[in-house]
Amino acid sequence: MKASSHDEFREFVAMRSTALLRLAVLLTGGDRHAAEDLLQIALMKAYGRWAHIEQPEAYIRQVMYRQQVNRWRLRKHRAETTVPVLPEPDREAGAESDSELRIALWAALGRLSKRQRAVVVLRYFEDLPEAEVAALLRCPVGTVRSTAHRSLAKLRALVPELGPEGHAEQVRPLSYTSKGIQG
């Protein structure tokens, strides 16, 4: 790689790595270590083709989506530790704050299947159209629609505070920083 391309790549990584890591954390269900691995793999693949990439961020995002789907398809299950139902804090009914709702939503997102989580992240966090999500996940548009429907229903069941219509628009989106989950 030429020195100028190398410098462009380093500058891109310095500017965009935080946003790309946030996406990777969402795709991996909150597993920061897996997210860092996912981002590193995508950046390694991009580095080798850097001089030929016209839209670097789009390319790296697509590599991350596809790499994560490939991980799911390999079905390498790792041992997970599940936690029984969290204890209810002492508070008035209906007085749940935005931060508590975001935390509950974050935990519920982690309980979705990997495909469901990918569809939710791509459709509602990345705000991609169904056809583009279908192309990225290499499945029919109908599968994206039905998976999104089932995913939202499951989120509503796991976080009843969202209500039947999923009034989550009151909640600011989650973001991930070096200090943890931020609202």
The reply to whether 137 and 75 lie within a common domain is no
Q: For the chain, what is the domain count?
A: 2
The range of the structural domain enclosing residue 142 comes to 89-162
In a domain, 177, yes or no: no
Which of 46, 64, 180, 83 has its CA nearest to residue 126? Answer: 64
Tens digits of residue pLDDT in 57-72: 999 999 999 998 887 7
Q: Which of 29, 54, 87 is the last residue of a domain?
A: 87
Tell me whether residue 73 is exposed, middle or buried, using C-beta atoms within 10 angstroms of its C-beta: 0 to 12, 13 to 18, 19 or more. exposed
The reply to whether 39 and 80 lie within a common domain is yes
Instruction: Please tell me the pTM assigned to this model.
Output: 0.49
In a domain, 98, yes or no: yes
Both tokens assigned to 89: 């804090």
How many residues are present in the chain? 183
The reply to whether 107 and 62 lie within a common domain is no
Element (H, E) at 70: helix 56-74
Predicted pLDDT of residue 133: 92
Tens digits of residue pLDDT in 102-131: 888 888 888 899 899 999 989 988 889 999
Helices (H), 86-172: 98-111, 114-120, 130-137, 141-158
Which of 14, 16, 8, 15 has its CA nearest to residue 52? Answer: 8
The reply to whether 114 and 158 lie within a common domain is yes
The reply to whether 1 and 82 lie within a common domain is yes
